[in-house]
Structure 1
Amino acid sequence: MVHSHVEKLISDAVSISFITDIWSSSVSQVSMLSLTAQWLDEDFALKKAVLHSQECCGSHTPVTISAAFEGMFEAWKIPKAKVHAVVRDNARNMAKATMEFGVKSLPCMAHTLQLAVNGGALSQRSIADALAVGRKVVGHFKHSSQAYSRLEDIQKELNMPVKKLQKDVTTRWNSSYYMMQSLVEQKRALSAYAADYELPATLIATQWGILEKMITLLDPFEQLTRDISSSVATAADVIPGVVSLTRLLTKSDEEQDKGVRTAKRTLLEAVSDRFSCVQGEPLYAIANIVDARYKDRYFDADKKEGARNMLLKVVEEMASGSDDQQGEAVSASADDPHKKARTGSPKLQDMYQEILEENELSERAATGETASQVHAYLGEATIFKECPFNYWRSNQARFPAISRVTAPCTSVDSERLFSAVAHVIDEKRNRIHCDNAEMLVFIQKNLPLTHKDK
């Protein structure tokens, strides 16, 4: 029943985006390849379905992965013409596999941010040394319940909230951010503990200063990572996020930058390098421009005209009945990143608003000179609080050629999927067959679809 229902939804979709990733079990010699579909139905409701989490045997070469894709898409009778984009990680084998399979792909933005932060800041000697010491401190309490009990007693004596320290993992840069946060929050308690008990290492004054400065510097990255990791974030959020983050990093603050100027500069260089081509990538550009929150306001002056031309080309092709480009126009997330930024990181939100205000006036001035659908749409003010899906639900009749399908911007859905797989293939069930594990996860993830659509 679940399979047939998902099959019906997939067959009705005009254009579909996909998320894929490879996971290796820590309790058995098993690797699995995932495939999650995402699309908009006729009412502009975002739909998602897990299609596969199948065993990926042998070496994970592009040829092997491409062949696996071939089998997956054939099993669901999905023609390549219906594939809008596949979101994957930055690994070369995944990028080459999608290319060999013959579909367009986008790198996971969260993974790209991971590479930028690790290469631009966390790998610097002074920061890496401070993190290494912090890791030893956290490890001391993680491996000793008695030590944690003593720390909790000290927290209570100091009228501090009783909290556990967080340890980072290498694959998640923001886990290092959370570790730094937890250490700085417990600085008084840790100092009191060190006065009475032995620690394997202690942070010196300059290292505490580095951690405090790095928390402030990395706060916008953490905010952006959370925004794009939302289950409803799409490719439309990439360009505004990168442009706002870049602008924030270019602003100087003598007091705030003291001690982390090099880290800030290298972060800016890493972000600029990793995301240098996003404004010229059609999948990102059109996603951004048809999102009524952003339109063409976040493009550099020399890229804005090119983005408009991309949209015009797609609109003309769709109007003439071309089926080849139906997946080019991308709608945006149902979430409001401005709202998130207001609660989590006012500085990052300031950049979003500042860029909008700078570009809004020029767009309004040009409205009277154009009568075309695209120029009329771009000439109107951007929405701020309104959900973009609701916007297109209300305005589809006015701009029928502009609104179409969504593409995700990260492979976070695959990460969440494999978290579910890890609960199925665990230490107590490490010999379960992959086909059975896939079936259980398929039902768990897709069963809610049968209830929502009734």
Structure 2
Amino acid sequence: MSDLKNKRSEIWKHFTIVSDGKAKCSYCNKMLNFVGGATGNFGRHVKSVPKAIPFKMVSYGHPEPDDKSLEEQQTTQKGPSTSQNLTVVPSVTNQQTILNFVRKLISLSGSKQLDEQLIRVIVKEYQPFRVVEDPEFKKFIYMLCPNYKMPDRKTISNSLIPRLYNSTKEVISNELSDVDAVCLTTDGWTSINNQSFMALTAHFIDGNQEKHHLKSYLLGCVPFYEQHTAKNLCEQLKSQVNEWGLANKIACIISDNATNITSAIKVTGWRFFPCFAHTLNLVLQAELFEIKEQVDKVKAIVQFFERSSSALAKLKDTQSQMGLPELKLKQDVVTRWNSTYDMLSRIIAIKKAVVSLLAVDEPHLNTLSPNDWIILEKSIEVLKLFSEITEEISAENSVTISKFENTLKAVRAKITTFSSTDAGHSSETIPSGSNPKNEAGCKEKSSIWDDFDHTVKNVLTSANPVAASIIEVDKYLTEPLIRRTEDPIHWWEERKQVYPRLYKLMRRRLCIVACERIFSKAGNLINEKRSRLKPEKASELLFLNHNL
């Protein structure tokens, strides 16, 4: 089959050869014939496509640098005329000859690869389209590859990104067509431009590789212009599911606990499972109300140091003088889980420096009493527990549904331990000479999994029972436990011939994960410097960022 290696016409940037004599349009996927290299029909077709890249039927290459720029480069490279700094610099004529020679080496396929990598840089690193028009960036690219003609931002927006989007979508669609079951997670988000988006992510166990593993693809983060009623959300979900051909493969769909989305999912008839991490966060937020007074005082202190650069510098100096780690205070964010724990644990870690500085410079902010500090220290012990759980069950590429029941048991056990400890030491006060480790409130507590891991260890070291029955379930129940840190998918992969029926059930259950928060990436994409992105373009960028 022919390839693009020896094809120099720029028209081949718009087509992919699929067989001898046939090529597919990169924009509309229409198949066109070419005989003996004739591409006149290709040119006419591309001109009829609204979003195709403007092109000229001429050889491509980078424009020659002017004599002035070359002379400047030559002068810069020569440097001062000293015996210690002797550099042989080719003449302008020789430089132009070399550039012309190098320019002939690039192929069309190489140019397309560079275009795609440029799009990946923009998409994955959240770069604005206008980066290709930055003079210094253009100079940098020219120095790396003089023969590469970098596309402008209009070409990137109208042609290259849609082309990569379509090809990526086709690959994902083919992969999803072979899976047995998927778990869907959905969430909503509003950008700084007050544009509403709805995300849908598919999670499944990939069985096409030598080893099974959990995979996730963002099916879409699409603009949502309708009111967020249960009916409208239901129609949007069904539309995306039907577009990807997943209607008969949904094991379950996970979302937050908002009434409109839960009602929408119930209308679809799909099995619904509330996001465990979101539910846990709701419980935590309700409990944080009990220490709202102390949290508000900490927020005021943190905000002061965030606004005052001089105060921040003094805090850094104070930490250094006291031999404390030079740490910055953290502010909590309502929409970011665990941020309150991060804020409180950080201020307790540098308590001495904060109190010392406020007492002298800002006494009106030094409002945390000794009892307040005790409450905060006790609180972060509980908050740390919830932080560990949230991080573990929010993992995207590991099985989490099998941990929920054991997680709840571990939480109850730890909360009971905290309660009994507090009851026995209710009259405790902070000693004035307490060491920095205690004062940081970061005394290492045992992990929530310590009891569970200890139990599993005892079981693993004991004699394994021998299965007496040929029934799959009975045999499965006699299997020894695996460690929490081991991957259950690999365990099932090794035993799929022993438990064929349970293996099929496993593939429909272990793909269920916690609801993903895709919009932490969306916030990086749509920011104050990139606030003019159209919703449809932002949707394409988020799709590529997540799936490439």
Task: Tell me the TM-score range normalised by the shorter chain.
Answer: 0.7 to 0.9
Report deviation, 1:39: 0.6
Residues 41-440 of structure 1 mapped to structure 2, 5 A cutoff: 41-42=206-207, 43-79=211-247, 81-119=248-286, 121-124=287-290, 127-172=291-336, 174-201=338-365, 202-231=367-396, 232-251=398-417, 254-257=420-423, 346-353=446-453, 356=456, 368=467, 370-384=469-483, 385-403=485-503, 404-405=506-507, 406-411=510-515, 413=516, 415=517, 417-440=518-541
Change (3 A) 1:196 1:176: same
8 Å contact kept, 2:214–2:511: no
Alpha-carbon separation, structure 2, partners of 1:200 and 1:401 = 68
RMSD (Å), alpha carbons: 2.5
User: Per the alignment, in what secondary structure is the counterpart of residue 331 of structure 2?
Assistant: coil
User: Per the alignment, in what secondary structure is the counterpart of residue 334 of structure 2?
Assistant: coil
Report deviation, 1:443: 1.7
Unaligned 5+ segments in structure 2 are 1-166, 428-443
8 Å contact kept, 1:31–1:56: yes
Change (3 A) 1:135 1:193: same
8 Å contact kept, 2:254–2:274: yes
Unaligned 5+ segments in structure 1 are 262-343, 448-454
8 Å contact kept, 1:247–1:351: no
Report deviation, 1:363: 11
Report deviation, 1:431: 2.9
8 Å contact kept, 2:332–2:343: yes
Q: Deviations over 1:354-385 (max 9, x none)?
A: 564798899966x6554311111111210114
User: Per the alignment, in what secondary structure is the counterpart of residue 216 of structure 1?
Assistant: helix
User: Per the alignment, in what secondary structure is the counterpart of residue 251 of structure 1?
Assistant: helix
Give the partner amino acid of 2:477: L
8 Å contact kept, 1:34–1:53: yes
Which protein is bigger by CA-based radius of gyration?
2
Alpha-carbon separation, structure 2, partners of 1:208 and 1:18 = 43
Alpha-carbon separation, structure 2, partners of 1:257 and 1:221 = 21
**Corresponding residue to 1:14 among 168, 176, 180:** 180
User: Per the alignment, in what secondary structure is the counterpart of residue 312 of structure 2?
Assistant: helix
- More helix as a share of residues: 1
8 Å contact kept, 1:130–1:211: yes
Give the partner amino acid of 2:315: L
Give the partner amino acid of 1:399: Y
Q: Deviations over 1:181-210 (max 9, x none)?
A: 011111110121023211542210000000
Q: Deviations over 1:256-295 (max 9, x none)?
A: 456889xxxxxxxxxxxxxxxxxxxxxxxxxxxxxxxxxx
User: Per the alignment, in what secondary structure is the counterpart of residue 123 of structure 1?
Assistant: helix
Q: Deviations over 1:416-452 (max 9, x none)?
A: x2122222222233232211111112122222xxxxx
Alpha-carbon separation, structure 2, partners of 1:188 and 1:218 = 22
Report deviation, 1:347: 3.8
User: Per the alignment, in what secondary structure is the counterpart of residue 398 of structure 1?
Assistant: coil
Q: Deviations over 1:71-90 (max 9, x none)?
A: 111211222x2101111001
Alpha-carbon separation, structure 2, partners of 1:253 and 1:101 = 43
Give the partner amino acid of 2:216: K
Alpha-carbon separation, structure 2, partners of 1:374 and 1:361 = 23
Taking every aligned residue pair, what percent have the same amino acid on both sides? 27
Give the partner amino acid of 1:444: N
Change (3 A) 1:368 1:45: closer
Q: Deviations over 1:6-56 (max 9, x none)?
A: 01011111111111100011x212010001111112242212111100011
8 Å contact kept, 2:526–2:538: yes
Alpha-carbon separation, structure 1, partners of 2:469 and 2:423 = 46
Give the partner amino acid of 2:378: K
Give the partner amino acid of 2:329: L
8 Å contact kept, 1:137–1:200: no
8 Å contact kept, 1:28–1:430: yes
Alpha-carbon separation, structure 1, partners of 2:337 and 2:201 = 25
Change (3 A) 1:256 1:370: farther
Report deviation, 1:388: 1.3
Report deviation, 1:244: 1.4
Q: Equivalent residue for 1:39?
A: 204
Q: Equivalent residue for 2:431?
A: none
Alpha-carbon separation, structure 2, partners of 1:215 and 1:5 = 46
Change (3 A) 1:255 1:104: closer
**Whose RCO is larger (CA < 8 A, sep 6+)?**
1
User: Per the alignment, in what secondary structure is the counterpart of residue 18 of structure 1?
Assistant: strand
